[in-house]
Amino acid sequence: MTALSVSTSSAASLRADALVVGVAKGPKGIVLAPGAEAVNEAFDGKLAEVLGTLGATGAEGETVKVASPAGLKAALVLAVGLGEAAEAGYELEALRRAAGVAARALAGVKKAALALPAESAEEVEAVALGGLLGSYVFGTYKGNGNGKEPVGELVVLTVRKGSKDAKAAVERAAAIGEEMNRARDLVNTAPNDLTPKSFAAIAQAAGKEHGLKVEVLDEKALTKGGFGGLLGVGNGSANPPRLVKVAYTHPKAKASLAFVGKGITYDSGGISLKPAGHNETMKCDMAGAAAVFAAVVAAKRLGLAVNVTAWLALAENMPSGSATRPGDVLRMYGGKTVEVLNTDAEGRLVLADAIVKAGEDNPDVIVDVATLTGAMVLALGTRTFGVMANSDELRENLHALAGEVGEQSWPMPLPTELKKGMTDSTIADLANMGERMGGGLVAGLFLQEFVAEGIDWAHLDIAGPAFHESAPFGYTPKGGTASAVRTLVRFAEHTAANGKA
């Protein structure tokens, strides 16, 4: 795991294997970003000229390496592009992405110093977090030296001499970044290794490590409790379902939040089997559970004055002689009945059980997170998640908070006219499918049916950004991304600061 630290040493005097500086696109060529002054001096004021000769343009995500001259303790200088030059300061997301690109480019290096713009505590945190996320490597199944190790240590260079908030910013970045990387590990783990039972064991281990209360309902407890959604989805698998509660409480908390995550550790579609080409990445269908789990652990590590509980609705959706069939009726936790028209619309079934159970604790807000619908990917693409809620204020708040931390989201409606298709079942209270058009919104409307009266609720459909299948960019790797973790943590921070959600 990459270590993070902060230093007020000069970039010229710090001993490291590599030194990272920022460059940007100016009106007359590349310009150096703040933080590069000492490095430029070592190049006799000609660093921009040298980089330009090597083809650097300052474009976002671009990297150019150059050997260090005399006067620098680092052997290598890496210039990373920030995009358009910003006289008023670079956006935090630009700094995160640049640091992430640099960290990934320096895989295999033992120690690198980040001499990027980092004057404020917020900038220090952005550089540290981007670097930690960009250094991520999932090497569990790699052997025989196949693949480089992540950069060993990242040192964030800042001019904030004698300031404790720079150190605190790096510690905060480490807490959030390490938990995001934990979520990425879970998403990337092969489904033969990550089952509902093993996921629950990981949660129990983390609870013991961080002082969190963890409760696990196994298949016997789920049967006794009447959790028809979880049992119905898990019936076809040799790996039975679990419902896991991970609770963090703070003695000064004035509000409580419940985060509910879809945790389908593998989704074949069940009897409504997915076609070839659509099931190879379905180990990622538990990304919502990974996100809410990581968010609660991060909240504990940050010591936020708010009570936060994660509910992990874990099941494996497989076809077999014991699997739920299209046409079956499930009696959900809480008593509602659901006619299953498509066994590949299983996420809403496990979430429904967990939402009802979470509501029994009477939290101020419930937020569920799920890789729920392909319709949301069609609507918003692969980098933006949808936000739905039974409260306009909550929906807009979550959308704004996501933007603050660099996550792309978009507020989506819950049109009541789309309920008709799923309430038309002649044999049950609801069907698990409704109108074909607006399928992502229909799924949100289904979940809303299980929210207790008087509780604010939001639904984040992260089907697009949860698993990145293309080339890495910024601090985002190929594979699991830990989508929504930062939004949830910021929401918890916002709630703690205001004493209410």
Q: Would you state the structure tokens that stand for residue 147, as one six-digit string?
A: 């693949």
Contacts of 211 (CB under 8 A, 6+ apart): 300
Residue 31 bridge partners (DSSP): 24
Active site residue 274: yes
Catalytic residue among 167, 274, 336, 478: 274
Q: Which helix (H) or strand (E) segment is 154 a member of?
A: strand 153-157
Q: Which helix (H) or strand (E) segment is 5 a member of?
A: strand 3-7
258 with 233: CB under 8 angstroms?
Answer: no
Instruction: Using the structure block, give the residue that is written with the tokens 């509501």.
Output: 359
**Strand pairing report for 385-389 and 456-461:** antiparallel
Catalytic residue among 25, 245, 348, 357: 348
Active site residue 348: yes
Q: Would you state the structure tokens that stand for residue 431, as one six-digit string?
A: 């069907």
Euclidean distance between CA atoms 184 and 187, whole angstroms: 5
Going through 169-306 in order, the beta strands assigned E by DSSP cover 213-217, 242-248, 256-267
Q: Which helix (H) or strand (E) segment is 366 a member of?
A: strand 365-370
Euclidean distance between CA atoms 457 and 14, whole angstroms: 49
85 with 28: CB under 8 angstroms?
Answer: no
**Number of neighbours of residue 449 by Cβ within 10 angstroms:** 18
Q: Would you state the structure tokens that stand for residue 258, as one six-digit string?
A: 């419940």
First-to-final CA distance of the chain? 34
Residue 246: which of 258, 231, 263 has the closest Cα?
258
DSSP 40-92: HHHTTT-HHHHHHHTT----TT-EEEEE--TT-SSSEEEEEEEEE--TT---H
268 with 282: CB under 8 angstroms?
Answer: yes
SS (H, E, C) 264-293: EEEECCCCCCCCCCCCCCHHHHHHHHHHHH
Instruction: Using the structure block, give the residue that is written with the tokens 């729920």.
Output: 372
382 with 464: CB under 8 angstroms?
Answer: yes
Q: Hey, what's the torsion of the CAs at 426, 432, 434, 438, to 10 degrees?
A: 170
Active site residues: 274, 348
